[in-house]
C-alpha cells in the first residue's frame, strides 16, 4: 500500500510542476519516488551487489546534474510505478498456489470419548476419528468409518463433480463435504497429507530452474555491471552525458530475467489447480516436445473388470436366458473374476442366481457344478463329452473375448463370453492425442488377440503385446532411438525401469500415492486419461508463452538501443517502454492462469466415472482379460 501512496504523491508533484512551471516540484517528485530506490540500491551496494536500483539511482542523479529535472522525476516515478505493478501482478500469478496453501485446514472436530471437540490440526494423531459435517472441510487424509456424502475434491484432483464417499472410501485433507456427514479415521495429518505434499511439490517445481532460466540468470549477473561500464565508456567517448544515462536506463534486464520464472509459476500453478503436478520447468519443456505416448492396456485403456458380452445358444431346447442362468449358478462356486462377470450379467437380466452346493473347479479348464440334479460345466471343450464344433466360439476368441462352453451333462448347450471393457474416456483421449500429432503406442503383457482388438477399436497406432517389464524398457529405448520424445503412462510397480527411461514418466490416479506424487515427472491426480492430454496441452502453452516473452524482452531492448543510438529516445521514454515490456511479459504469463476446458474430443464430458460402458448383449467394443485360463 505504501508503494502506491509514494507513486501517487510523486505523480501529483509532477503534475503540479507542469501546471505551475516550478522545477522545484519536479525535484520533489524525484526525491519522493527515488528515496526508496536509493535506499534499496545502497543496501545492495553495502553487501557488494550491483542492482538495477543502482542503475536507476545513478541515472536519476545524473539527470539532476545536467539540470534535467523532468527526466529525473519521470525515471524514478516510472520505475516506482512499474515496481508496484510488478509486485501486484506477480502476486496474482502466484495466487493459484497461494490459494491452495490458504485453503489448508487449521482445525478439526475430533471425537474424544464419543463427544465432538474442536482442536488444532497438530493436536491430532493417526487413528483419531474426526467428524466432518455438511459444508465443512475434510481436515485430514483418512478412511471413512461411517456415514456418507458427496465430497468436492477439486483442490486435489481438479475435478469439480462431487465424489460419492461411503464407508471405507478414501478422503483427502482440504476437500469440501458438500452434502452428508462423515466420520473419518485420520491417516495423514498436516504435513503428511496429500495436500501438503502437493503444495511442496508444486513449489519445488516452480522453483526448479528450466535450462533457459539458469542461462538467463547467469547472463544478467554479468549484464548489469557490464552495462554500467559500457555506459561509462560511451559517456566518456561521446561526452554526451544524457546518452550515457539513457543507456543505463534501457539496459535493465528486467523483462528478460522475469520472463521465464513468471511463465513457469503461472503454468505449473494452473496445472496444479487442474490436478496435474509437473515436476519442474525442465519437465515442462520436455513435455511440450512429446510426440509419442506409451500406455499400458489394462486399467489405463480398459477398466480391468470383465463384463458379460455374449450368450449363444447351441441347443435350441434351451433359451438364452436358461443357458446364462445355468452358467451363472455353476459359477457361484468360483472365485474367478470371470465368474463374477457371468453372475452379474445374469442378475442384470433379472435372472435369479441361486448358489450351488456341489462344484469342482478344474484348473485351466473351468468349473463343473451340480445344479438341479444335472452336471453343468462352464469352460473349455475338454469338459464336454461331445465335441461341440462351434465356429462361433473361435469367432468370439478372435474378437479378443474369453468364450466358454456351457454344457449340461456333457452336452454343449450354449456359449457365454466375457471381456474387459474399454474405459469410456479412452476413445476421446486418443482422438485428442492424435489431434496434437502424438502417436499412441500400446505396451501390454497381455495376449496378442486381446491387445489387437482393443487397439483397433480405439485407433491405437502401434501394438506390442506379451511384453515382460524388460521388454517395455527396450520398447521405450527403441522409440527414442527413432528420434522420438516418449512419454510413458505406467503404474509405477512393474514399469519402473521403462518409466525412468522415458523422457516423461506419467503416473495416473496419483492422489492416493505419496510416492507417485514425489517421483513422477507428471502426476495426474485423477485416474483419467484425458488429463494427460490436458497436461501436454498446458505444457505446450507454457513453453509457447516463455518463448513469446523472451522474444518481447529481447526485441524491446534491441528497439530501444537502436532508438537511443539513432536519437529520439530519452531517459523517460526508455524507462516507460522498459517498464511496459516487463508488465506485458507478466501479463502474457498471466494468460496461462485462465481456466481452460479439459482438452478431450467432444462427447467425453468430465462427468463420466471410471467404470465405463458395459453392455451385455452383444458388445461391439469389449475385449478380454489377460490370458484367462479356466
Partner 1 sequence: MTTTTTTLRSEEFSCPSCVNKIETKLRALDGVSDAEVKFSSGRILVDHDPEVAPIRSLVDAVAAVGYTTRPSAY
44 lies in the binding site for partner 1 (CB under 8 A): yes
Distance of alpha carbon 216 from alpha carbon 12, whole angstroms: 37
Footprint (CB under 8 A) of partner 1, residues 249-288:
254, 257-258, 261, 264-265
Among 16, 35, 51, 411, binds partner 1 (CB under 8 A): 51
Tell me the closest approach of the beta carbon of residue 617 to partner 1, in angstroms: 55
Tell me the closest approach of the beta carbon of residue 579 to partner 1, in angstroms: 12
Footprint (CB under 8 A) of partner 1, residues 352-371:
none
Query: Where is 375: in which H helix or E strand?
Result: strand 374-379
Distance of alpha carbon 112 from alpha carbon 613, whole angstroms: 45
Tell me the closest approach of the beta carbon of residue 36 to partner 1, in angstroms: 8
Q: Pick between residue 157 and residue 224 the one whose CB is nearest to partner 1.
A: 224
Among 169, 220, 395, 411, binds partner 1 (CB under 8 A): 220
Q: Pick between residue 258 and residue 453 the one whose CB is nearest to partner 1.
A: 258
HSE (side-chain half, CA atoms, 13 Å) at 89? 22
Catalytic residue chosen out of the listed positions 141, 296, 521, 527: 296
Among 10, 76, 83, 235, binds partner 1 (CB under 8 A): 83
Tell me the closest approach of the beta carbon of residue 578 to partner 1, in angstroms: 13
Among 207, 394, 456, 470, binds partner 1 (CB under 8 A): 207
Q: Pick between residue 149 and residue 254 the one whose CB is nearest to partner 1.
A: 254
Among 1, 19, 48, 483, binds partner 1 (CB under 8 A): 48
Total of chain residues touching partner 1, rule CB under 8 A: 40
Render 502-552 in DSSP notation, one character per residue: SSEEEEESGGG-HHHHHH-SEEESSS-THHHHHHHHHHHHHHHHHHHHHHH
Beta-ladder partners of 117: 110
Tell me the closest approach of the beta carbon of residue 224 to partner 1, in angstroms: 7
Q: Pick between residue 584 and residue 613 the one whose CB is nearest to partner 1.
A: 584
Query: Where is 571: in which H helix or E strand?
Result: helix 571-590
Render 122-180 in DSSP notation, one character per residue: GG--TT-EEEE-TTPBP-SEEEEEEEEEEEE-HHHHS--SPEEE-TT-EE-TT-EEEEE
Distance of alpha carbon 559 from alpha carbon 390, whole angstroms: 80
C-alpha angle 372/373/375, rounded to 5°?
100
Distance of alpha carbon 445 from alpha carbon 465, whole angstroms: 6
Q: Pick between residue 28 and residue 262 the one whose CB is nearest to partner 1.
A: 262
Per-residue exposure over 223-244, b if at least 16 CB sit within 10 Å of its own CB, e if not = bbeebbeebeebbeeeeebbbb
Helix, strand or coil, per DSSP, at residue 109? strand
Q: Which stretch binds partner 1 (CB under 8 A): 46-54, 62-70, 313-321, 505-513?
A: 46-54
Which stretches of 251-356 are DSSP H helices? Answer: 254-273, 281-288, 320-331, 337-348
Tell me the closest approach of the beta carbon of residue 189 to partner 1, in angstroms: 12
Q: Pick between residue 265 and residue 404 the one whose CB is nearest to partner 1.
A: 265
Tell me the closest approach of the beta carbon of residue 160 to partner 1, in angstroms: 25
Query: Where is 102: in which H helix or E strand?
Result: helix 69-102
Footprint (CB under 8 A) of partner 1, residues 145-204:
190-191, 196, 199-200, 202-204
Q: Which stretch binds partner 1 (CB under 8 A): 39-47, 403-411, 525-533, 562-570?
A: 39-47
Instruction: Name the burial class of residue 270, with classes exposed (0-12), middle (13-18) and buried (19+) by CB atoms within 10 angstroms of its CB.
Output: buried
C-alpha angle 106/180/117, rounded to 5°?
40
Are 139 and 123 a contacting pair, CB within 8 Å? no
Q: Pick between residue 83 and residue 472 the one whose CB is nearest to partner 1.
A: 83
Only one residue has cell 497436461, namely 535
Q: What share of the chain is helix, strand, coil (3-state, %, to 5)?
A: 50, 20, 30
- For the chain, the straight-line distance linking the first and the last C-alpha, in angstroms and rounded, comes to 74
Tell me the closest approach of the beta carbon of residue 115 to partner 1, in angstroms: 28
Residue among 197, 187, 224, 278 nearest 56 (CA): 224
Q: Which stretch binds partner 1 (CB under 8 A): 23-31, 33-41, 374-382, 498-506?
A: 33-41
Q: Pick between residue 214 and residue 615 the one whose CB is nearest to partner 1.
A: 214
Q: Pick between residue 171 and residue 264 the one whose CB is nearest to partner 1.
A: 264
Footprint (CB under 8 A) of partner 1, residues 84-143:
86-87, 90-91, 94, 97-98, 101, 104
Instruction: Name the burial class of residue 535, with classes exposed (0-12), middle (13-18) and buried (19+) by CB atoms within 10 angstroms of its CB.
Output: buried
Annotation marks residue 296 as catalytic: yes
Tell me the closest approach of the beta carbon of residue 87 to partner 1, in angstroms: 5
Q: Pick between residue 102 and residue 113 the one whose CB is nearest to partner 1.
A: 102
Tell me the closest approach of the beta carbon of residue 561 to partner 1, in angstroms: 21
Q: What is the phi/psi pair of residue 489, to 5°?
A: -100, 120
Beta-ladder partners of 118: 109
Distance of alpha carbon 406 from alpha carbon 413, whole angstroms: 6
Q: Pick between residue 56 and residue 393 the one whose CB is nearest to partner 1.
A: 56
Tell me the closest approach of the beta carbon of residue 289 to partner 1, in angstroms: 22
Footprint (CB under 8 A) of partner 1, residues 459-498:
none
Are 436 and 537 a contacting pair, CB within 8 Å? yes
Q: Which stretch binds partner 1 (CB under 8 A): 45-53, 143-151, 354-362, 497-505?
A: 45-53
Q: What is the phi/psi pair of residue 376, to 5°?
A: -105, 130
Binding site for partner 1 (CB under 8 A): 36, 39-40, 43-44, 47-49, 51-53, 83, 86-87, 90-91, 94, 97-98, 101, 104, 190-191, 196, 199-200, 202-204, 206-207, 217, 220, 224, 254, 257-258, 261, 264-265
By annotation, the residues acting in catalysis are: 296
Amino acid at each position: 500500500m505504501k508503494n502506491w501512496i509514494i507513486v501517487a504523491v510523486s505523480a501529483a508533484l509532477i503534475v503540479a510542476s507542469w501546471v505551475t512551471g516550478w522545477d522545484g516540484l519536479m525535484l520533489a517528485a524525484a526525491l519522493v519516488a527515488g528515496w526508496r530506490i536509493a535506499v534499496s540500491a545502497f543496501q545492495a551496494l553495502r553487501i557488494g551487489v550491483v542492482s538495477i536500483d543502482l542503475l536507476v539511482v545513478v541515472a536519476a542523479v545524473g539527470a539532476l546534474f545536467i539540470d534535467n529535472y523532468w527526466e529525473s522525476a519521470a525515471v524514478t516515478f516510472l520505475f516506482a510505478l512499474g515496481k508496484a505493478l510488478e509486485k501486484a501482478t506477480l502476486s496474482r500469478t502466484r495466487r493459484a498456489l497461494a490459494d491452495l496453501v490458504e485453503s489448508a485446514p487449521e482445525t478439526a472436530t475430533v471425537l474424544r470419548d464419543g463427544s465432538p471437540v474442536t482442536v488444532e490440526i497438530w493436536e491430532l494423531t493417526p487413528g483419531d476419528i474426526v467428524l466432518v459435517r455438511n459444508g465443512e472441510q475434510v481436515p485430514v487424509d483418512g478412511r471413512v468409518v461411517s456415514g456418507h456424502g458427496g465430497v468436492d475434491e477439486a483442490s486435489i484432483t481438479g475435478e469439480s463433480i462431487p465424489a460419492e464417499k461411503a464407508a471405507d472410501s478414501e478422503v483427502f485433507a482440504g476437500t469440501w463435504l458438500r452434502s452428508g456427514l462423515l466420520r473419518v479415521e485420520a491417516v495423514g495429518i498436516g504435513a503428511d497429507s496429500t495436500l501438503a505434499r502437493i503444495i511442496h511439490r508444486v513449489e519445488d517445481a516452480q522453483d526448479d530452474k528450466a535450462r533457459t532460466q539458469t542461462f538467463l540468470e547467469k547472463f544478467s549477473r554479468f549484464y548489469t555491471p557490464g552495462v554500467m561500464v559500457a555506459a561509462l565508456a560511451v559517456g566518456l567517448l561521446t561526452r554526451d552525458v544524457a546518452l550515457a544515462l539513457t543507456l543505463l536506463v534501457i539496459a535493465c534486464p528486467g523483462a528478460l530475467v522475469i520472463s521465464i520464472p513468471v511463465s513457469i509459476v503461472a503454468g505449473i500453478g494452473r496445472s496444479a489447480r487442474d490436478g496435474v503436478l509437473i515436476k519442474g520447468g525442465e519437465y515442462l519443456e520436455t513435455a511440450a516436445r512429446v510426440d509419442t505416448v506409451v500406455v499400458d492396456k489394462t486399467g489405463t485403456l480398459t477398466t480391468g473388470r470383465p463384463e458379460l458380452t455374449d450368450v449363444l445358444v447351441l441347443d435350441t431346447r434351451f433359451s438364452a436366458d436358461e443357458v446364462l442362468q445355468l452358467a451363472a449358478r455353476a459359477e457361484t462356486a468360483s472365485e474367478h473374476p470371470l465368474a463374477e462377470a457371468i453372475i452379474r450379467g445374469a442378475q442384470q437380466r433379472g435372472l435369479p442366481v441361486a448358489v450351488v452346493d456341489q462344484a469342482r473347479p478344474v484348473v485351466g479348464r473351468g468349473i463343473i457344478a451340480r445344479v438341479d440334479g444335472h452336471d453343468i460345466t462352464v469352460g473349455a471343450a475338454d469338459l464336454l463329452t461331445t465335441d461341440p464344433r462351434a465356429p462361433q466360439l473361435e469367432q468370439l476368441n478372435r474378437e479378443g473375448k474369453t468364450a466358454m462352453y456351457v454344457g449340461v451333462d456333457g452336452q454343449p448347450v450354449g456359449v457365454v463370453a466375457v471381456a474387459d471393457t474399454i474405459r469410456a474416456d479412452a476413445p476421446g483421449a486418443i482422438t485428442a492425442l492424435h489431434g496434437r500429432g502424438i502417436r499412441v503406442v500400446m505396451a501390454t503383457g497381455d495376449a496378442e488377440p486381446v491387445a489387437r482388438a482393443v487397439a483397433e477399436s480405439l485407433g491405437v497406432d502401434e501394438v506390442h503385446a506379451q511384453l515382460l517389464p524388460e521388454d517395455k524398457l527396450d520398447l521405450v529405448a527403441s522409440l527414442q532411438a527413432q528420434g522420438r520424445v516418449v512419454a510413458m503412462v505406467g503404474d509405477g510397480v512393474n514399469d519402473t525401469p521403462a518409466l525412468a527411461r522415458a523422457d516423461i514418466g506419467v503416473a495416473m490416479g496419483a492422489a492416493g500415492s505419496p510416492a507417485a506424487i514425489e517421483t513422477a515427472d507428471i502426476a495426474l491426480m485423477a485416474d483419467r486419461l484425458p488429463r494427460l492430454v490436458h497436461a501436454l496441452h498446458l505444457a505446450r502453452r507454457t513453453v509457447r508463452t516463455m518463448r513469446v516473452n523472451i522474444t518481447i524482452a529481447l526485441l524491446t531492448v534491441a528497439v530501444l538501443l537502436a532508438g537511443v543510438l539513432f536519437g529520439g529516445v530519452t531517459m523517460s521514454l526508455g524507462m516507460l517502454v522498459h517498464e511496459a515490456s516487463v508488465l506485458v511479459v507478466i501479463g502474457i504469463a498471466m494468460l496461462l492462469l485462465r481456466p481452460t476446458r479439459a482438452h478431450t474430443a467432444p462427447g467425453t464430458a468430465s462427468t463420466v466415472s471410471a467404470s465405463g460402458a458395459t453392455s451385455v448383449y452383444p458388445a461391439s467394443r469389449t475385449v478380454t482379460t489377460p490370458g484367462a485360463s479356466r
